[in-house]
Chain A
Amino acid sequence: MTDQLRLWLEVCQLQNNYVHAIDSGRLEDWPRFFTEDGVYTIISKENEDRGLPAPIIHCRNQRMMRDRVMALRHASIYEAHSYRHALGGIVIESATDDEVHAVSSYIVVNTGAAGESVVYQAGVYRDRLVKQQGNWLFREKRVVYDTSRVQTLLATRSRRRTDEQLARCGRSHGFQRR
């Protein structure tokens, strides 16, 4: 096997493990695919093509990613749904011994509570990977989505408002719920 092919397989493996963690609901594992100072940005192709910076999600380090997971788990409200990521066309654009620039296409299928599956988003990952302690990690993942109209909202994983959330809300406002 050539070194080039081996590297390509390593990148494929990282990408597959990454979406597997998300699609399996292991959100807490998601930030661990990044370096501590890793940057995660989701931005529309519309803005990217015009050189405009407004993102839809922008985490400038792992801590902000863990905050996003905490919010999704405990604060945000959205309908139960599940995502499936399909990856394709992984291409290494440039590589040194410890840094790789790679792109890949993704399609996310959303299955809502009613049981209908729809293509929720299509786009491209523009990734910069670095090797730390023998493992590839994302130093930057830039998600550029083609699907400029975001349907309803962007969140991931199924959950619903819990009694614990409601109680917390009531306590903070100083009213009793009944």
Chain B
Amino acid sequence: MAETLTTDSGTHAADRDVFFPQPDGSRVPYAVFSSQEVYDREQERIYRGPHWSFVALACEIPNLNDFKSTFVGDTPVVVTRTADGFACWVNRCAHRGAIVCREKHGNAASHTCVYHQWNYSCEGDLQGVPFRRGQKQGDIMLVGMAKAFDPAQHGLRKLRVAEYKGLLFATFSDDTPDIEDYLGPQMLPWVDRLFHKPIVYLGCTRQYSKSNWKLYFENVKDPYHASLLHLFHTTFNIFRVGMSARSIPDATHGLHSLITVTKPSVETNTASAYTDQKIRSMQDGFALEDPYVLGQIPEYEENCTNQIQPIFPQLVIQQIHNTLVARQLLPKGPSNFELVFHFFGYEDDTPELRELRLLQANLVGPAGYISMEDTEATELVQRGTARDGDKTSFMGMGLDAPDQTNSNITENLIRRFWAGYQRTMGY
């Protein structure tokens, strides 16, 4: 064998094609957005590491034996509702590796691989192997599966599953902490805020972007861009100077975060409010002919217009006005991601509130008035950075006030994210 020049598995800095010049996350090497090596490392250390990946809302699979095909990272998995709760298994036959479940969703007490009809329970246990005990052909007994074959050892690869108030998470790792500890005390009250009572599933929309998944994570931790990229705000007079904001990272690793925006509470006299609160003048703007879509029926103690809460690595919880969405972020190679907007409402919605939620679907998703540009922006970064992996971004907004949590012109959450990412990835 030729003398070995490489070290073990590329964990030494010199072997890697990425280098973060600052530990504070303010400069991110562009290689993390396009390197296959980085992507493969993420699959191991993040999606198969000690993290809970959001896989489904429990109300997507409301009945016994309901299932849904999805992904943890780029590994295909199936989530099922079992007699005991929920199961999640890798969608790969234990026999020869074929995809077992080929539907996006449905109801099935068992799942059979089409290749050789190995059959599994909805928990993922192997139940049947055709010709296992051989077959008699005339006088000859054709031998079946090896004598030593133990079906219990050949089930589907199972993941741990955790439910938190109707959100379903899965993890490959035994080291992942309990879900409540994973979400942490900064995030929990805000998850509880939107999931405090039974929800119903209203459907999903899917958006595919030719850009790296982390560019989207940056986007949902970036209140700075909101009123600058999404000109719908300023064009139709949604942006208001007097709005109060929160931008809070989780204290453990900074990978989760919360952004909220809340309007000034009293707006009895609209005309004087325009003057007093320095709301942008209407004269150079435009007015909606049917502004009902921008209304909001109060339904929480604090009437935030926006709650944007990324839970690393696969979930963004969203309340924008009366739209409620669990966004599932799925990496599809270094340069692509799929974003699935799972819309939901509450079981006790009034018809008026339900109608408004569906009207306000116009605000979000791939054709959303105040979100359609996000994937446009992430694609611009992808295209702009593809060739220059050693160059870095610069994120200095609010850098001198790292503990400020009431600003909406800060890049603090993004820096905290990258600092956490560096630790998780060993960079």
Which positions in A face B, CB cutoff 8 Å? 42-44, 46-47, 50, 52-61, 63-64, 66-68, 70-71, 74-79, 148-155, 161, 165, 168-169, 171-174
Q: Which of B227, B285, B376 contacts A79 (CB 8 A)?
A: B376
Q: Which residue of A lies closest to B232 (CB)?
A: A75
Give 6 pairs: A residue, B residue, CB < 8 Å, sorted on A.
A60-B290, A63-B289, A74-B286, A78-B372, A150-B367, A153-B375
Residues in A with CB closer than 8 Å to B367 are 42, 56-57, 150, 153-155
Q: If the complex has contacts A67-B290, A74-B286, are A55 and B366 also in contact, measured as CB distance less than 8 A?
A: no
**Chain B residues positioned under 8 Å from A148 (CB to CB):** 206
CA distance A78 to B377 in the complex (A): 9
Which chain B residues in 272-290 approach chain A with CB under 8 Å?
278, 280, 284-286, 288-290
Question: What 1/0 mask marks residues of chain B from 360 to 393 whose CB sits below 8 Å from any chain A CB?
Answer: 0110011101001101100100000000000000
- Chain B residues 174 to 204 lying within 8 A of chain A, measured CB to CB, are 201-204
For B286, the chain A residues whose CB sits under 8 A away are 70, 74-75
Closest-by-CB residue of B relative to A155 is B372
If over half of A's interface residues share one DSSP class (helix, strand or loop), that class is named, otherwise mixed; here it is mixed
Q: Which residues of A contact B262 (CB under 8 A)?
A: none
Q: Which of B206, B227, B232, B375 contacts A71 (CB 8 A)?
A: B232
> Is B202 a contact partner of A173 (Cβ separation < 8 A)?
no
Give chain A residues whose Cβ lies under 8 Å from the Cβ of B234: 168-169, 172-173
Contact, CB under 8 Å: B203 / A54 = yes
A63 touches B290 (CB 8 A): yes
Asked if B289 and A75 sit within 8 Å, CB to CB, the answer is no
A-B contact count (CB 8 A): 147
**Given A173-B234, A174-B241: 16 more A-B contacts, CB < 8 Å:** A47-B205, A54-B203, A55-B361, A57-B362, A58-B362, A67-B289, A76-B369, A77-B372, A79-B376, A148-B206, A150-B205, A150-B206, A152-B366, A152-B379, A168-B284, A169-B234
User: Which residues of chain A have C-beta atoms less than 8 A from B201's C-beta?
Assistant: 52
Q: Does any Cβ of A come within 8 Å of B358's Cβ?
A: yes
From residue B292, how far is it (CB to closest CB) to chain A in Å?
9
Cβ-neighbour of A151 out of B203, B208, B235, B359 (below 8 A): B208
One of B210, B231, B235, B289 near A64 (C-beta < 8 A): B289
Which residues of B sit under 8 angstroms from A74, Cβ to Cβ?
A: 231, 235, 286
In the assembled complex, the Cα of A124 lies from the Cα of B34 at a distance in Å of 37
Rounded to whole angstroms, the CA-CA distance of A22 and B232 in the bound complex is 22
Cα-based distance from A19 to B258 in the complex (angstroms): 43
Number of chain B interface residues as a range = 35 or more
Closest to B374 in A: A153
SS class, residues of chain B in contact with chain A: mixed
Checking A50, A52, A71, A79 against B369 with a beta-carbon cut-off of 8 angstroms, the contacting residue is A71
B358/A153 in contact, CB under 8 A: no
Cβ–Cβ < 8 Å partners of A56 in chain B: 205, 361, 365-367
Please state if A153 and B373 are interface contacts (CB–CB under 8 Å): yes
| Chain B contacts for A71, CB-based, 8 A | 232, 235-236, 369
Determine if B208 and A149 form an interchain contact, defined as CB atoms under 8 angstroms apart.
yes
Q: Top 3 nearest A-B pairs by Cβ distance?
A: A52-B203, A54-B203, A47-B203
B395 within 8 A of A: no
* Residues of chain A with a CB closer than 8 A to B366's CB: 56, 150, 152-154
- A52 near B289 with CB under 8 A, answer no
Contact B202 A46 (CB under 8 A): no
Asked whether B229 is an interface residue with its Cβ less than 8 Å from the other chain, the reply is yes
Q: A64-B293, A152-B375 are in contact. Are A169 and B227 (CB under 8 A)?
A: yes
Q: Contacts A66-B289, A75-B231, A169-B227: A150 and B202 contacting too (C-beta < 8 A)?
A: no
Inter-subunit contact A46/B236 (CB<8 Å)? no
Q: State whether the Cβ of B239 lies closer than 8 Å to any Cβ in chain A.
A: yes
Evaluate whether A55 and B358 lie within 8 angstroms (CB atoms) in the complex, with A70-B286, A75-B231, A172-B280 already known: yes
Task: State in angstroms the CA–CA spacing of A154 and B372 once bound together.
Answer: 7
Nearest CB on A from B221, distance (A): 20
B206 lies within 8 A of A149 (CB) = yes
Q: Does B422 contact A (CB under 8 A)?
A: no
Residue among B205, B207, B338, B359 with most chain A CB within 10 A: B205
Q: In the complex, A71 Cα to B286 Cα: how many Å?
A: 9
B105 neighbours in A (Cβ, 8 Å): 50
B19 to chain A, nearest CB (A): 31
